[in-house]
């Protein structure tokens, strides 16, 4: 596998960050979060970017940050839930390493995000978010090299990723 990057995708609240951190320390990789880098570059929070600059500006930054991060190696990269909707982002990720879909039931994702300040959560009902979830699942599935479930302990999901990664060596 060398030091190729590992790029995680999946719906908001699926656990990309917790699973990603669990995975990263096990394989001596650094964990990075695309959203955190976007906030650092923009000098404002994601809700503020959406409100003051608009979603298109956020999406442009998302591609720039992902492209920069994908130029490195030895990273576990957590992407925002909308990143893999853009083919360009999927291409960048796939060229730089292995892409993994962190799957999780909508009910659990919703429980984790319902009280958050994520712009999509703020402006959508539970039903709308469930529709979005159902629309996006096949997109993540197509874009990823493989998927793991993160229903219970994120450590189990990280271990499942490790087992699957060994198949690629
Ligand atoms: C988004 C998901 C968020 C963040 C932004 C948009 C989306 O990231 O990038 O609010 O379109 O699903 P998380 O999936 O890390 O919550």
| 79 CA closest ligand 1 atom index | 15
Identify the pLDDT of residue 1.
47
Phi, psi of 31 (to 5 degrees): -95, 130
pLDDT tens series, the chain, 169 aa: 458 999 999 999 999 999 999 999 999 999 999 999 999 999 999 999 999 999 999 999 999 999 999 999 999 999 999 999 999 999 999 999 999 999 999 999 999 999 999 999 999 999 999 999 999 999 999 999 999 999 989 999 999 999 998 876 5
Q: Whose CA is nearest to atom 4 of ligand 1?
A: 80
Residue 166: its pLDDT value, please? 81
Using an 8 Å Cβ cutoff, are 7 and 71 in contact? no
What CA–CA distance (Å, rounded) separates 167 from 169? Answer: 6
85 lines ligand 1 (CB under 6 A): no
Does the CB atom of residue 10 touch ligand 1 within 6 A? no
Distance from Cα 169 to the centre of ligand 1, integer Å:
31
b/e 84-122 (16+ beta carbons within 10 angstroms → b): bbeeebbebbeebbbbbbbbbebeebbeebeeeebbbbe
Q: What does the alpha-carbon distance between residue 23 and residue 156 come to, in Å, rounded to a whole number? A: 10
Q: What is the pLDDT of residue 169?
A: 53
Per-residue model confidence (pLDDT) at position 108: 97
Q: Is the CB of 80 under 6 A from ligand 1?
A: yes
* Cα→Cα distances 15→9, 67, 161, Å: 10, 22, 13
Atom of ligand 1 nearest to the CA of 34: 9
Cα–Cα–Cα angle for 69, 161, 102, rounded to 5 degrees: 70
| Two tokens, residue 73 | 């190696």
Q: Answer whether 102's CB lies under 8 Å from 16's CB.
A: yes
Radius of gyration of the chain (CA): 15
């Amino acid at each position: 596998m060398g030091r190729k990057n590992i790029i995680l995708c999946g719906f908001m609240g699926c656990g990309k960050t917790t699973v990603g951190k669990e995975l990263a320390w096990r394989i001596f990789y650094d964990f990075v979060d695309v959203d955190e880098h976007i906030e650092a570059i923009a000098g404002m929070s994601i809700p503020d970017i959406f409100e003051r600059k608009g979603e298109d500006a956020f999406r442009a930054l998302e591609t720039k940050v992902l492209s920069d991060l994908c130029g490195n190696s030895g990273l576990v990269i957590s992407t925002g839930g909308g990143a893999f909707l853009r083919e360009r982002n999927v291409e960048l990720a796939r060229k730089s390493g292995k892409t993994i879909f962190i799957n999780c039931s909508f009910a659990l994702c919703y429980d984790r995000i319902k009280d958050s300040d994520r712009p999509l959560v703020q402006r959508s009902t539970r039903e709308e978010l469930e529709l979005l979830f159902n629309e996006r699942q096949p997109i993540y599935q197509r874009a990823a090299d493989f998927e793991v479930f993160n229903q219970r302990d994120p450590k189990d999901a990280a271990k499942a990723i490790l087992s699957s990664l060994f198949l690629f060596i």
